[in-house]
Structure 1
Protein backbone atom coordinates (compact mmCIF):
# COMPACT_ATOMS: atom_id res chain seq x y z
CA UNK A 1 0.00 0.00 0.00
CA UNK A 2 1.32 3.44 -0.97
CA UNK A 3 1.89 5.71 2.01
CA UNK A 4 -0.47 8.65 2.01
CA UNK A 5 1.03 12.13 1.88
CA UNK A 6 0.12 15.23 3.89
CA UNK A 7 1.16 18.87 3.68
CA UNK A 8 0.91 21.04 6.79
CA UNK A 9 1.54 24.77 6.42
CA UNK A 10 2.72 26.93 9.29
CA UNK A 11 4.46 23.84 10.70
CA UNK A 12 7.31 25.59 12.50
CA UNK A 13 5.45 25.98 15.80
CA UNK A 14 2.15 25.69 17.64
CA UNK A 15 -0.77 23.96 15.97
CA UNK A 16 1.15 23.30 12.75
CA UNK A 17 4.05 21.62 14.52
CA UNK A 18 1.74 19.47 16.66
CA UNK A 19 -0.30 18.52 13.59
CA UNK A 20 2.74 17.53 11.55
CA UNK A 21 3.89 15.25 14.37
CA UNK A 22 0.39 13.81 14.77
CA UNK A 23 0.03 12.93 11.10
CA UNK A 24 3.52 11.44 10.98
CA UNK A 25 2.53 9.28 13.95
CA UNK A 26 -0.52 8.12 11.99
CA UNK A 27 1.73 6.89 9.19
CA UNK A 28 1.55 9.73 6.69
CA UNK A 29 4.52 11.01 4.75
CA UNK A 30 4.38 14.55 6.08
CA UNK A 31 5.77 17.73 4.57
CA UNK A 32 5.98 20.57 7.10
CA UNK A 33 5.99 23.94 5.36
CA UNK A 34 7.11 27.34 6.57
CA UNK A 35 8.93 30.34 5.15
CA UNK A 36 12.06 29.53 7.17
CA UNK A 37 13.18 25.91 7.04
CA UNK A 38 15.67 26.37 9.89
CA UNK A 39 12.71 26.34 12.31
CA UNK A 40 11.54 23.06 10.78
CA UNK A 41 14.71 21.08 11.42
CA UNK A 42 13.44 19.96 14.83
CA UNK A 43 10.75 17.96 13.00
CA UNK A 44 13.13 15.85 10.93
CA UNK A 45 13.76 13.45 13.82
CA UNK A 46 10.14 12.33 13.39
CA UNK A 47 10.62 11.81 9.67
CA UNK A 48 8.84 15.03 8.71
CA UNK A 49 10.19 16.61 5.54
CA UNK A 50 10.87 20.36 5.76
CA UNK A 51 9.56 22.42 2.87
CA UNK A 52 10.30 26.10 2.29
CA UNK A 53 7.04 27.78 1.33
CA UNK A 54 5.62 31.29 1.42
CA UNK A 55 1.85 30.93 1.00
CA UNK A 56 1.61 34.45 -0.42
CA UNK A 57 4.06 33.67 -3.25
CA UNK A 58 2.55 31.73 -6.16
CA UNK A 59 5.94 30.57 -7.40
CA UNK A 60 6.70 29.16 -3.95
CA UNK A 61 3.39 27.32 -3.51
CA UNK A 62 3.40 25.93 -7.05
CA UNK A 63 6.97 24.66 -6.66
CA UNK A 64 6.16 23.14 -3.28
CA UNK A 65 3.22 21.10 -4.56
CA UNK A 66 5.21 20.06 -7.63
CA UNK A 67 8.01 18.81 -5.35
CA UNK A 68 5.60 16.77 -3.23
CA UNK A 69 4.04 15.16 -6.30
CA UNK A 70 7.45 14.47 -7.86
CA UNK A 71 8.73 12.79 -4.69
CA UNK A 72 5.63 10.86 -3.57
CA UNK A 73 3.30 10.77 -6.56
CA UNK A 74 0.30 11.93 -4.54
CA UNK A 75 -1.21 14.39 -2.08
CA UNK A 76 -3.88 13.13 0.30
CA UNK A 77 -4.17 15.76 3.02
CA UNK A 78 -3.71 19.52 2.95
CA UNK A 79 -3.80 21.30 6.31
CA UNK A 80 -4.07 25.04 5.73
CA UNK A 81 -2.74 26.22 9.07
CA UNK A 82 -0.51 29.14 8.06
CA UNK A 83 -2.00 32.36 9.36
CA UNK A 84 -1.60 35.18 11.82
CA UNK A 85 -3.63 37.66 13.84
CA UNK A 86 -2.98 41.35 13.23
CA UNK A 87 -5.10 43.39 15.63
CA UNK A 88 -5.82 47.10 15.57
CA UNK A 89 -8.76 49.41 15.00
CA UNK A 90 -10.12 49.15 11.47
CA UNK A 91 -9.50 52.89 11.10
CA UNK A 92 -5.88 52.57 12.24
CA UNK A 93 -4.65 49.50 10.35
CA UNK A 94 -3.03 50.43 7.00
CA UNK A 95 -4.79 48.79 4.08
CA UNK A 96 -1.53 47.21 2.94
CA UNK A 97 -1.40 45.32 6.24
CA UNK A 98 -5.08 44.41 5.99
CA UNK A 99 -4.56 43.08 2.48
CA UNK A 100 -1.52 41.09 3.55
CA UNK A 101 -3.50 39.41 6.32
CA UNK A 102 -6.08 38.35 3.73
CA UNK A 103 -3.27 37.16 1.45
CA UNK A 104 -1.92 34.87 4.19
CA UNK A 105 -5.10 33.75 5.93
CA UNK A 106 -7.47 33.45 2.95
CA UNK A 107 -5.84 33.63 -0.47
CA UNK A 108 -2.85 31.52 0.55
CA UNK A 109 -5.16 28.75 1.72
CA UNK A 110 -7.35 29.07 -1.36
CA UNK A 111 -4.38 28.90 -3.74
CA UNK A 112 -3.06 25.74 -2.13
CA UNK A 113 -6.52 24.20 -2.42
CA UNK A 114 -6.48 25.07 -6.13
CA UNK A 115 -3.10 23.41 -6.53
CA UNK A 116 -3.92 20.14 -4.74
CA UNK A 117 -7.43 19.64 -6.07
CA UNK A 118 -6.45 18.35 -9.54
CA UNK A 119 -4.39 15.58 -7.90
CA UNK A 120 -7.07 14.74 -5.35
CA UNK A 121 -9.75 14.66 -8.04
CA UNK A 122 -7.61 12.34 -10.17
CA UNK A 123 -7.17 9.89 -7.30
CA UNK A 124 -10.83 10.35 -6.21
CA UNK A 125 -9.84 10.98 -2.62
CA UNK A 126 -8.33 13.57 -0.32
CA UNK A 127 -9.03 15.90 2.57
CA UNK A 128 -8.53 19.64 2.77
CA UNK A 129 -8.46 20.94 6.34
CA UNK A 130 -8.85 24.69 6.80
CA UNK A 131 -7.94 26.08 10.21
CA UNK A 132 -10.27 28.99 10.91
CA UNK A 133 -11.04 29.94 14.52
CA UNK A 134 -13.92 30.57 16.84
CA UNK A 135 -13.06 34.05 15.56
CA UNK A 136 -14.71 33.01 12.30
CA UNK A 137 -18.05 32.85 14.13
CA UNK A 138 -17.70 35.55 16.81
CA UNK A 139 -16.01 38.95 16.97
CA UNK A 140 -14.02 41.16 19.34
CA UNK A 141 -13.11 44.85 19.45
CA UNK A 142 -10.06 45.79 17.36
CA UNK A 143 -9.99 42.42 15.61
CA UNK A 144 -11.93 43.41 12.52
CA UNK A 145 -9.36 42.53 9.87
CA UNK A 146 -8.43 39.25 11.58
CA UNK A 147 -12.03 38.20 12.09
CA UNK A 148 -12.77 39.23 8.52
CA UNK A 149 -10.22 36.72 7.24
CA UNK A 150 -11.63 33.94 9.39
CA UNK A 151 -15.24 34.65 8.44
CA UNK A 152 -14.13 34.63 4.80
CA UNK A 153 -12.33 31.29 5.13
CA UNK A 154 -15.41 29.77 6.77
CA UNK A 155 -17.60 30.76 3.82
CA UNK A 156 -15.02 29.73 1.24
CA UNK A 157 -14.70 26.33 2.94
CA UNK A 158 -18.45 25.71 2.82
CA UNK A 159 -18.57 26.42 -0.91
CA UNK A 160 -15.48 24.32 -1.55
CA UNK A 161 -17.00 21.40 0.36
CA UNK A 162 -19.99 21.37 -2.00
CA UNK A 163 -17.79 21.65 -5.08
CA UNK A 164 -15.28 18.96 -4.10
CA UNK A 165 -17.64 16.35 -2.63
CA UNK A 166 -18.62 14.75 -5.97
CA UNK A 167 -14.93 13.97 -6.60
CA UNK A 168 -14.41 12.14 -3.30
CA UNK A 169 -12.63 15.10 -1.66
CA UNK A 170 -13.57 16.13 1.89
CA UNK A 171 -13.30 19.70 3.13
CA UNK A 172 -13.13 20.13 6.90
CA UNK A 173 -13.11 23.27 9.02
CA UNK A 174 -11.30 23.30 12.37
CA UNK A 175 -12.43 26.09 14.72
CA UNK A 176 -9.94 26.42 17.57
CA UNK A 177 -10.74 28.35 20.72
CA UNK A 178 -8.01 29.76 22.93
CA UNK A 179 -4.81 27.82 22.26
CA UNK A 180 -1.52 28.07 24.13
CA UNK A 181 0.75 29.39 21.37
CA UNK A 182 2.77 32.54 20.63
CA UNK A 183 -0.28 34.03 18.91
CA UNK A 184 -1.69 36.07 21.81
CA UNK A 185 1.52 37.85 22.71
CA UNK A 186 2.34 38.69 19.10
CA UNK A 187 -1.17 40.02 18.48
CA UNK A 188 -1.04 42.11 21.67
CA UNK A 189 2.29 43.69 20.74
CA UNK A 190 1.03 44.60 17.29
CA UNK A 191 -2.19 46.01 18.73
CA UNK A 192 -0.29 48.32 21.10
CA UNK A 193 1.87 49.51 18.21
CA UNK A 194 -1.04 50.22 15.87
CA UNK A 195 -3.73 51.61 18.17
CA UNK A 196 -1.98 52.27 21.48
CA UNK A 197 -1.69 56.01 20.85
CA UNK A 198 -4.83 56.71 18.82
CA UNK A 199 -8.45 57.48 19.62
CA UNK A 200 -8.80 53.75 20.34
CA UNK A 201 -6.02 53.65 22.95
CA UNK A 202 -8.35 52.70 25.81
CA UNK A 203 -9.76 49.76 23.91
CA UNK A 204 -6.27 48.77 22.78
CA UNK A 205 -4.94 48.67 26.35
CA UNK A 206 -7.82 46.48 27.49
CA UNK A 207 -7.69 44.00 24.61
CA UNK A 208 -3.88 43.81 24.59
CA UNK A 209 -3.87 43.11 28.33
CA UNK A 210 -6.32 40.26 27.84
CA UNK A 211 -4.41 38.78 24.90
CA UNK A 212 -1.10 38.77 26.74
CA UNK A 213 -2.25 38.01 30.29
CA UNK A 214 -0.86 35.02 32.20
CA UNK A 215 -4.33 34.15 33.46
CA UNK A 216 -5.64 33.94 29.91
CA UNK A 217 -2.64 31.87 28.81
CA UNK A 218 -3.21 29.36 31.62
CA UNK A 219 -6.80 28.78 30.51
CA UNK A 220 -5.85 28.13 26.90
CA UNK A 221 -5.79 24.60 25.51
CA UNK A 222 -2.61 22.88 24.25
CA UNK A 223 -2.01 22.74 20.47
CA UNK A 224 -2.10 18.94 20.70
CA UNK A 225 -5.86 19.14 21.22
CA UNK A 226 -6.25 20.66 17.75
CA UNK A 227 -3.79 18.19 16.24
CA UNK A 228 -5.82 15.30 17.64
CA UNK A 229 -9.02 16.70 16.11
CA UNK A 230 -7.28 17.00 12.73
CA UNK A 231 -6.01 13.44 13.05
CA UNK A 232 -9.54 12.24 13.73
CA UNK A 233 -10.94 14.19 10.80
CA UNK A 234 -8.47 12.94 8.20
CA UNK A 235 -8.88 9.31 9.25
CA UNK A 236 -12.70 9.40 9.29
CA UNK A 237 -14.51 7.89 6.33
CA UNK A 238 -17.11 10.64 6.64
CA UNK A 239 -15.61 13.45 8.72
CA UNK A 240 -17.70 16.17 10.31
CA UNK A 241 -17.80 19.41 8.37
CA UNK A 242 -16.59 21.31 11.46
CA UNK A 243 -14.63 20.49 14.59
CA UNK A 244 -14.94 23.15 17.29
CA UNK A 245 -12.16 22.52 19.80
CA UNK A 246 -10.31 24.41 22.53
CA UNK A 247 -10.92 26.80 25.38
CA UNK A 248 -14.12 28.83 25.08
CA UNK A 249 -14.96 27.89 21.50
CA UNK A 250 -18.18 25.90 21.89
CA UNK A 251 -19.82 28.06 24.57
CA UNK A 252 -18.97 31.36 22.86
CA UNK A 253 -20.18 30.21 19.46
CA UNK A 254 -23.39 28.93 21.06
CA UNK A 255 -23.98 32.19 22.91
CA UNK A 256 -23.40 34.15 19.69
CA UNK A 257 -26.01 31.99 17.96
CA UNK A 258 -28.46 32.35 20.83
CA UNK A 259 -28.35 36.05 21.63
CA UNK A 260 -29.28 39.19 19.71
CA UNK A 261 -26.29 41.15 18.45
CA UNK A 262 -26.40 43.92 21.05
CA UNK A 263 -26.64 41.45 23.90
CA UNK A 264 -23.59 39.61 22.55
CA UNK A 265 -21.83 42.97 22.08
CA UNK A 266 -22.27 43.63 25.79
CA UNK A 267 -20.86 40.23 26.74
CA UNK A 268 -17.80 40.63 24.52
CA UNK A 269 -17.09 44.16 25.77
CA UNK A 270 -17.29 42.94 29.35
CA UNK A 271 -15.09 39.93 28.62
CA UNK A 272 -12.42 42.04 26.93
CA UNK A 273 -12.52 44.81 29.51
CA UNK A 274 -13.60 47.44 26.99
CA UNK A 275 -15.66 50.27 28.44
CA UNK A 276 -17.84 52.79 26.65
Structure 2
Protein backbone atom coordinates (compact mmCIF):
# COMPACT_ATOMS: atom_id res chain seq x y z
CA UNK A 1 0.00 0.00 0.00
CA UNK A 2 1.25 3.46 -0.90
CA UNK A 3 2.19 5.92 1.80
CA UNK A 4 0.54 8.92 0.12
CA UNK A 5 -3.18 9.62 -0.01
CA UNK A 6 -5.16 12.04 -2.18
CA UNK A 7 -8.77 13.18 -1.81
CA UNK A 8 -10.38 14.42 -5.03
CA UNK A 9 -13.80 16.00 -5.55
CA UNK A 10 -15.88 15.87 -8.71
CA UNK A 11 -14.68 12.49 -10.01
CA UNK A 12 -17.78 11.43 -11.93
CA UNK A 13 -16.20 12.44 -15.22
CA UNK A 14 -13.64 14.68 -16.88
CA UNK A 15 -10.68 16.10 -15.00
CA UNK A 16 -11.59 14.55 -11.64
CA UNK A 17 -11.86 11.06 -13.08
CA UNK A 18 -8.61 11.32 -15.05
CA UNK A 19 -6.77 12.72 -12.04
CA UNK A 20 -7.92 9.83 -9.86
CA UNK A 21 -6.57 7.39 -12.45
CA UNK A 22 -3.30 9.31 -12.77
CA UNK A 23 -2.68 9.18 -9.02
CA UNK A 24 -3.49 5.46 -8.94
CA UNK A 25 -0.94 4.88 -11.69
CA UNK A 26 1.63 6.54 -9.42
CA UNK A 27 0.73 4.18 -6.56
CA UNK A 28 -1.20 6.63 -4.38
CA UNK A 29 -4.16 5.79 -2.19
CA UNK A 30 -7.00 7.58 -3.97
CA UNK A 31 -10.30 8.66 -2.49
CA UNK A 32 -12.50 9.70 -5.41
CA UNK A 33 -15.71 11.53 -4.53
CA UNK A 34 -18.78 12.73 -6.40
CA UNK A 35 -22.46 13.35 -5.69
CA UNK A 36 -23.23 10.36 -7.94
CA UNK A 37 -21.43 7.22 -6.67
CA UNK A 38 -22.60 5.18 -9.68
CA UNK A 39 -20.58 7.45 -11.98
CA UNK A 40 -17.38 6.23 -10.29
CA UNK A 41 -17.88 2.47 -10.70
CA UNK A 42 -14.86 2.17 -12.99
CA UNK A 43 -12.68 4.01 -10.48
CA UNK A 44 -13.66 1.56 -7.75
CA UNK A 45 -12.65 -1.29 -10.06
CA UNK A 46 -9.24 0.38 -10.47
CA UNK A 47 -8.65 0.39 -6.73
CA UNK A 48 -9.93 3.81 -5.71
CA UNK A 49 -12.00 4.32 -2.60
CA UNK A 50 -15.18 5.95 -3.93
CA UNK A 51 -17.40 7.96 -1.63
CA UNK A 52 -20.50 10.08 -2.14
CA UNK A 53 -19.78 13.75 -1.52
CA UNK A 54 -21.87 16.83 -2.25
CA UNK A 55 -19.56 19.81 -1.70
CA UNK A 56 -22.52 22.00 -0.84
CA UNK A 57 -23.19 19.95 2.30
CA UNK A 58 -21.12 20.69 5.41
CA UNK A 59 -21.74 17.26 6.88
CA UNK A 60 -20.58 15.45 3.73
CA UNK A 61 -17.18 17.16 3.74
CA UNK A 62 -16.52 16.39 7.40
CA UNK A 63 -17.66 12.77 7.16
CA UNK A 64 -15.60 12.01 4.07
CA UNK A 65 -12.42 13.57 5.47
CA UNK A 66 -12.81 11.64 8.73
CA UNK A 67 -13.38 8.39 6.81
CA UNK A 68 -10.32 8.88 4.57
CA UNK A 69 -8.01 10.02 7.37
CA UNK A 70 -9.11 7.10 9.53
CA UNK A 71 -8.63 4.53 6.79
CA UNK A 72 -5.28 5.74 5.43
CA UNK A 73 -3.82 7.56 8.43
CA UNK A 74 -3.95 11.01 6.87
CA UNK A 75 -4.43 13.02 3.70
CA UNK A 76 -1.39 14.23 1.78
CA UNK A 77 -3.16 16.04 -1.05
CA UNK A 78 -6.58 17.60 -1.51
CA UNK A 79 -7.61 18.34 -5.10
CA UNK A 80 -10.58 20.70 -4.98
CA UNK A 81 -11.85 19.94 -8.46
CA UNK A 82 -15.66 19.97 -8.23
CA UNK A 83 -17.29 22.81 -10.12
CA UNK A 84 -19.45 23.85 -13.06
CA UNK A 85 -20.03 26.86 -15.29
CA UNK A 86 -23.14 29.03 -15.20
CA UNK A 87 -23.46 31.07 -18.39
CA UNK A 88 -25.69 34.01 -19.20
CA UNK A 89 -25.78 37.83 -19.27
CA UNK A 90 -25.61 38.99 -15.67
CA UNK A 91 -28.89 40.93 -15.94
CA UNK A 92 -30.72 37.81 -17.06
CA UNK A 93 -29.19 35.63 -14.36
CA UNK A 94 -31.35 35.23 -11.25
CA UNK A 95 -29.40 36.03 -8.10
CA UNK A 96 -30.14 32.56 -6.77
CA UNK A 97 -28.24 31.09 -9.72
CA UNK A 98 -25.23 33.31 -9.00
CA UNK A 99 -25.38 32.16 -5.39
CA UNK A 100 -25.44 28.51 -6.51
CA UNK A 101 -22.37 29.12 -8.67
CA UNK A 102 -20.44 30.34 -5.64
CA UNK A 103 -21.92 27.61 -3.44
CA UNK A 104 -20.21 24.92 -5.51
CA UNK A 105 -17.13 26.61 -6.99
CA UNK A 106 -16.06 28.65 -3.94
CA UNK A 107 -17.88 27.64 -0.78
CA UNK A 108 -17.55 23.97 -1.72
CA UNK A 109 -13.78 24.31 -1.83
CA UNK A 110 -13.84 26.16 1.47
CA UNK A 111 -15.79 23.36 3.17
CA UNK A 112 -13.17 20.82 2.12
CA UNK A 113 -10.31 23.12 3.17
CA UNK A 114 -11.72 23.52 6.66
CA UNK A 115 -12.10 19.77 7.03
CA UNK A 116 -8.72 18.78 5.57
CA UNK A 117 -6.30 21.36 6.98
CA UNK A 118 -6.41 20.06 10.58
CA UNK A 119 -5.55 16.59 9.26
CA UNK A 120 -2.59 17.96 7.29
CA UNK A 121 -1.33 19.98 10.25
CA UNK A 122 -1.23 16.87 12.40
CA UNK A 123 1.23 15.38 9.90
CA UNK A 124 3.16 18.66 9.44
CA UNK A 125 2.50 18.98 5.74
CA UNK A 126 0.47 18.36 2.63
CA UNK A 127 -0.59 19.94 -0.63
CA UNK A 128 -3.85 21.69 -1.45
CA UNK A 129 -4.60 22.03 -5.17
CA UNK A 130 -7.50 24.34 -5.99
CA UNK A 131 -9.11 24.28 -9.40
CA UNK A 132 -9.37 27.78 -10.84
CA UNK A 133 -9.29 28.75 -14.53
CA UNK A 134 -7.68 31.21 -16.91
CA UNK A 135 -10.93 33.08 -16.25
CA UNK A 136 -9.75 33.52 -12.69
CA UNK A 137 -7.56 36.34 -14.00
CA UNK A 138 -9.54 37.63 -16.95
CA UNK A 139 -13.18 37.65 -18.11
CA UNK A 140 -15.36 36.73 -21.06
CA UNK A 141 -18.82 38.08 -21.96
CA UNK A 142 -21.62 35.73 -21.07
CA UNK A 143 -19.62 33.97 -18.36
CA UNK A 144 -19.61 36.58 -15.62
CA UNK A 145 -20.88 34.26 -12.89
CA UNK A 146 -18.26 31.62 -13.63
CA UNK A 147 -15.46 34.18 -13.96
CA UNK A 148 -16.45 35.81 -10.66
CA UNK A 149 -16.33 32.46 -8.87
CA UNK A 150 -12.88 31.68 -10.25
CA UNK A 151 -11.53 35.12 -9.33
CA UNK A 152 -12.72 34.30 -5.81
CA UNK A 153 -10.90 30.94 -5.92
CA UNK A 154 -7.70 32.75 -6.88
CA UNK A 155 -8.05 35.14 -3.93
CA UNK A 156 -8.81 32.35 -1.47
CA UNK A 157 -5.88 30.29 -2.71
CA UNK A 158 -3.32 33.11 -2.60
CA UNK A 159 -4.44 34.14 0.89
CA UNK A 160 -4.48 30.58 2.20
CA UNK A 161 -0.94 29.97 0.92
CA UNK A 162 0.47 32.64 3.20
CA UNK A 163 -1.66 31.55 6.16
CA UNK A 164 -0.63 27.89 6.21
CA UNK A 165 2.99 28.19 5.06
CA UNK A 166 4.24 27.82 8.65
CA UNK A 167 2.66 24.35 8.80
CA UNK A 168 4.51 22.93 5.80
CA UNK A 169 1.39 22.96 3.61
CA UNK A 170 1.72 23.93 -0.04
CA UNK A 171 -1.23 25.61 -1.75
CA UNK A 172 -1.38 25.86 -5.53
CA UNK A 173 -3.83 26.89 -8.22
CA UNK A 174 -4.52 25.08 -11.46
CA UNK A 175 -5.57 27.42 -14.28
CA UNK A 176 -6.72 25.47 -17.35
CA UNK A 177 -7.80 27.06 -20.57
CA UNK A 178 -10.52 25.18 -22.48
CA UNK A 179 -10.65 21.48 -21.59
CA UNK A 180 -12.92 19.15 -23.54
CA UNK A 181 -15.15 17.54 -20.92
CA UNK A 182 -18.88 17.55 -20.17
CA UNK A 183 -18.35 21.07 -18.80
CA UNK A 184 -19.52 22.75 -22.01
CA UNK A 185 -22.52 20.48 -22.41
CA UNK A 186 -23.65 21.24 -18.88
CA UNK A 187 -22.97 24.96 -19.28
CA UNK A 188 -25.18 25.15 -22.37
CA UNK A 189 -27.95 23.42 -20.45
CA UNK A 190 -27.70 26.24 -17.91
CA UNK A 191 -29.21 28.65 -20.43
CA UNK A 192 -32.51 27.30 -19.18
CA UNK A 193 -31.84 29.09 -15.88
CA UNK A 194 -31.99 32.54 -17.50
CA UNK A 195 -34.75 35.12 -17.62
CA UNK A 196 -34.45 36.50 -21.20
CA UNK A 197 -34.92 40.23 -21.70
CA UNK A 198 -34.40 40.42 -25.46
CA UNK A 199 -31.44 42.77 -24.91
CA UNK A 200 -28.58 40.33 -25.42
CA UNK A 201 -28.93 38.75 -28.84
CA UNK A 202 -25.15 38.40 -29.14
CA UNK A 203 -25.13 35.99 -26.19
CA UNK A 204 -27.63 33.63 -27.77
CA UNK A 205 -25.63 33.68 -31.01
CA UNK A 206 -22.24 33.08 -29.37
CA UNK A 207 -23.62 30.23 -27.28
CA UNK A 208 -25.76 28.63 -29.99
CA UNK A 209 -24.32 25.11 -30.43
CA UNK A 210 -25.58 24.96 -34.02
CA UNK A 211 -23.60 28.11 -34.91
CA UNK A 212 -20.43 27.75 -32.87
CA UNK A 213 -20.68 24.36 -31.20
CA UNK A 214 -18.89 24.92 -27.83
CA UNK A 215 -16.15 27.16 -29.26
CA UNK A 216 -16.58 29.78 -26.56
CA UNK A 217 -16.75 27.30 -23.67
CA UNK A 218 -14.66 24.13 -23.65
CA UNK A 219 -13.70 23.74 -27.31
CA UNK A 220 -11.94 27.05 -27.75
CA UNK A 221 -8.67 27.55 -29.58
CA UNK A 222 -5.97 25.29 -28.14
CA UNK A 223 -8.33 23.17 -26.03
CA UNK A 224 -6.77 20.19 -24.28
CA UNK A 225 -7.94 16.84 -22.95
CA UNK A 226 -8.54 16.27 -19.22
CA UNK A 227 -5.64 13.84 -19.01
CA UNK A 228 -3.25 16.74 -19.56
CA UNK A 229 -4.67 18.63 -16.59
CA UNK A 230 -4.48 15.49 -14.46
CA UNK A 231 -0.76 15.15 -15.17
CA UNK A 232 -0.17 18.72 -13.97
CA UNK A 233 -2.09 18.10 -10.74
CA UNK A 234 0.00 15.00 -9.99
CA UNK A 235 3.21 16.92 -10.72
CA UNK A 236 2.14 19.70 -8.32
CA UNK A 237 1.31 17.18 -5.57
CA UNK A 238 4.62 15.35 -5.88
CA UNK A 239 6.90 18.39 -6.22
CA UNK A 240 8.76 19.35 -3.03
CA UNK A 241 8.59 23.01 -4.11
CA UNK A 242 5.57 23.38 -6.41
CA UNK A 243 4.78 26.49 -8.40
CA UNK A 244 2.12 28.78 -7.00
CA UNK A 245 -0.02 28.46 -10.13
CA UNK A 246 -0.04 26.23 -13.20
CA UNK A 247 -1.53 27.42 -16.49
CA UNK A 248 -2.56 24.35 -18.53
CA UNK A 249 -2.68 24.56 -22.30
CA UNK A 250 -1.35 27.18 -24.73
CA UNK A 251 -2.87 30.06 -22.76
CA UNK A 252 0.05 31.37 -20.72
CA UNK A 253 1.05 34.24 -22.97
CA UNK A 254 -2.45 35.28 -24.08
CA UNK A 255 -3.36 35.29 -20.39
CA UNK A 256 -0.44 37.55 -19.54
CA UNK A 257 -1.44 39.79 -22.44
CA UNK A 258 -4.96 39.98 -21.06
CA UNK A 259 -3.58 41.14 -17.72
CA UNK A 260 -1.28 43.76 -19.26
CA UNK A 261 -3.50 45.16 -22.01
CA UNK A 262 -5.65 48.13 -20.87
CA UNK A 263 -9.26 47.36 -20.02
CA UNK A 264 -10.42 49.65 -22.82
CA UNK A 265 -8.60 47.54 -25.41
CA UNK A 266 -10.08 44.33 -24.05
CA UNK A 267 -13.56 45.87 -24.04
CA UNK A 268 -13.10 46.94 -27.66
CA UNK A 269 -12.12 43.42 -28.65
CA UNK A 270 -15.16 41.92 -26.96
CA UNK A 271 -17.35 44.60 -28.52
CA UNK A 272 -16.18 43.50 -31.97
CA UNK A 273 -16.78 39.85 -31.08
CA UNK A 274 -20.35 40.60 -30.04
CA UNK A 275 -20.97 42.73 -33.13
CA UNK A 276 -19.81 40.20 -35.68
CA UNK A 277 -20.98 37.01 -33.97
Q: Report the counterpart of residue 229 of structure 1 in structure 2.
A: 232
Q: Report the counterpart of residue 253 of structure 1 in structure 2.
A: 255
Is the 2:125–2:167 Cα contact (8 Å) retained in structure 1? yes
Is the 2:92–2:197 Cα contact (8 Å) retained in structure 1? no
Q: Report the counterpart of residue 56 of structure 2 in structure 1.
A: 56
Q: Deviations over 1:156-200 (max 9, x none)?
A: 000000011110000010000010111112212323662666321
Q: TM-score normalized by structure 1?
A: 0.92
Q: Report the counterpart of residue 9 of structure 1 in structure 2.
A: 9
Is the 1:22–1:231 Cα contact (8 Å) retained in structure 2? yes
Q: 5 Å matches for 1:64-103?
A: 64-103=64-103
Q: Deviations over 1:233-276 (max 9, x none)?
A: 111000000000125x2133111122100111233444xx4128
Q: What SS does the aligned partner of 2:30 have?
A: strand
Q: Report the counterpart of residue 168 of structure 1 in structure 2.
A: 168
Q: Deviations over 1:87-141 (max 9, x none)?
A: 1111111111111110100011011011110111111110000010001011111
Q: TM-score normalized by structure 2?
A: 0.92
Q: 5 Å matches for 1:196-211?
A: 198-209=198-209, 210=212
Is the 1:132–1:174 Cα contact (8 Å) retained in structure 2? yes
- 1:241 and 2:244 are equivalent in the alignment: yes
Q: Which moved more, 1:38-47 or 1:160-169?
A: 38-47
CA–CA distance in 1 between the matches of 2:169 and 2:213? 37
**What number of residue pairs does the alignment pair up?**
273
Is the 1:15–1:224 Cα contact (8 Å) retained in structure 2? yes
Q: What is the root-mean-square deviation of aligned Cα atoms in Å?
A: 2.1
Q: Report the counterpart of residue 159 of structure 2 in structure 1.
A: 159
Q: Report the counterpart of residue 191 of structure 2 in structure 1.
A: 191
Q: Which runs of 5+ in 2 are unaligned?
A: none
Q: 5 Å matches for 1:111-150?
A: 111-150=111-150
CA–CA distance in 2 between the matches of 1:114 and 1:216? 34
Q: What SS does the aligned partner of 2:219 have?
A: helix
Q: What SS does the aligned partner of 1:160 have?
A: helix
Q: What SS does the aligned partner of 1:267 have?
A: helix
Q: Which runs of 5+ in 1 are unaligned?
A: none
